[in-house]
Amino acid sequence: MRPVWLVSACLLGERCRYDGGHCYDPAVEELKKRADVVPVCPETLGGLEAPRAPSEIVGGTGADVWNGTAKVLDAEGRDRTQAFLTGAKKAMEICKRCGAHSALVKSNSPSCGYGTIYDGSFGDTKRGGNGVFTQLLLDRGVRVVCDGDAAVRR
């Protein structure tokens, strides 16, 4: 039986990013040779459309959003926290249903960032931390790798 990987849908070429675009990653083709790939976009699963105003975590990281001490706001000041939490939960249900034990996520994203996210200033400044969905994956024991990580090609 082949392993199953969740993959950020934007990395597969789906136009679900905030700007209506995608970030297709050719490394996904290598991954598809050895694993079944299941696309997820927690932001659209949470009800956000593409295109939309960009969002960042303000006041912390994905872990802090789950703890209720940080929020996800968009560049227009709208609170998108609930959409991000709802989308992460729905994406986690997909993870459970398909039996994925690994995930390939989009770097720096407020949902999917792993190790580094934008800092909430909307000024292209980054900080250490994980996105809302990635934090949930890690808390549930799912192995996470980020686009550009050599582990995807192995």
Instruction: Give 73-122 pLDDT, tens digit per residue.
Output: 999 999 999 999 999 999 999 999 999 999 999 999 999 999 999 999 99
- Among 122, 8, 114, which residue's Cα sits nearest to residue 61? 114
Measured at the alpha carbon of residue 39, what is the angle toward residues 37 and 42, in degrees to the nearest 5?
145
Q: How far apart are alpha carbons 56 and 75 in whole angstroms?
A: 8
Structural domain containing residue 82: 4-153
Instruction: Say whether 17 sits in a helix, a strand or coil.
Output: coil
Q: Given a cut of 90, is residue 124 above it in pLDDT?
A: yes
- Count structural domains, the chain: 1
Q: Tell me: the pLDDT tens digits for 9-44?
A: 999 999 999 999 999 999 899 999 999 999 999 999
